[in-house]
Amino acid sequence: MDTQALALSLPLIGWATHSVYLAQRLATARRDPLTGLRTRAGWTARAERIIRRHRDAVVLLLDLDDFKNLNDAHGHAAGDVALTAIAERLTAWCGRQGIAGRLGGDEFAAVIRSDGSPDLRSLTRALNQPLAYAGRRLPLYVSVGSCRLADLPVRSLSDALAAADSAMYADKGKTGRRGTRTISH
């Protein structure tokens, strides 16, 4: 290759390399590096599409209860394992009918197409299964709130998330829902 052709191609090679780098950064920004779930921005875009196409969709908001205590008692590695387990369980429950995302910290969201009433009891049972970690069984407690889009006067993701958030906090407030919860050292 002559020097003139090389001089002309270098900027193109640099631009192509930079474009690939930016595309990879954008793709990873839409995925949570710990759980592999979509981040808030990535999940929101997909959730909006599902809502537009499926009038019977259900939006869920989930919060890992006592997460700070879990981290304090067993360390951040145990917390990371718990977050990953919740992500895997939620993703498995959604299957091909929906999408799960990690909104931040210990808060997750999902939207699913629904041909009836989604089995939230099976989801709650799956999420609340103890977690095997370092030779122990750590309890996991997840509060779940849901909102059927068909129940809203105006179908919007923000309104559905607000309603699911209210339902989630009502779920947290149920006395005796899980009995006494302690995280052992």
Phi-psi region of 22 (alpha: psi -120 to 50; beta: other; left: phi over 0): alpha
Q: How confident is the model at residue 177 (pLDDT cuts 50, 70, 90)?
A: very low
Among the options 32, 65, 106, 171, which is catalytic?
A: 106
Residue pLDDT, tens place only, 29-69:
578 999 999 999 999 999 999 999 998 899 999 999 999 99
The answer, yes or no, to whether residue 86 has pLDDT greater than 90, is yes
What does pTM read for this prediction? Answer: 0.78
User: Is 32 part of the annotated catalytic residue set?
Assistant: no
Q: Which residue has the higher pLDDT, 105 or 11?
A: 105
- Separation of alpha carbons 1 and 95, rounded Å: 53
DSSP 57: -
> How high is the pLDDT of residue 3?
80
What residue spans of the chain are helical by DSSP H? Answer: 3-29, 40-53, 67-74, 76-94, 120-127, 157-172
**Span 127-154, average pLDDT:** 93
The answer, yes or no, to whether residue 92 has pLDDT greater than 80, is yes
- Separation of alpha carbons 106 and 125, rounded Å: 18
Residue pLDDT, tens place only, 147-171:
999 999 988 999 999 999 999 998 8
Q: How confident is the model at residue 180 (pLDDT cuts 50, 70, 90)?
A: very low
> How high is the pLDDT of residue 24?
62
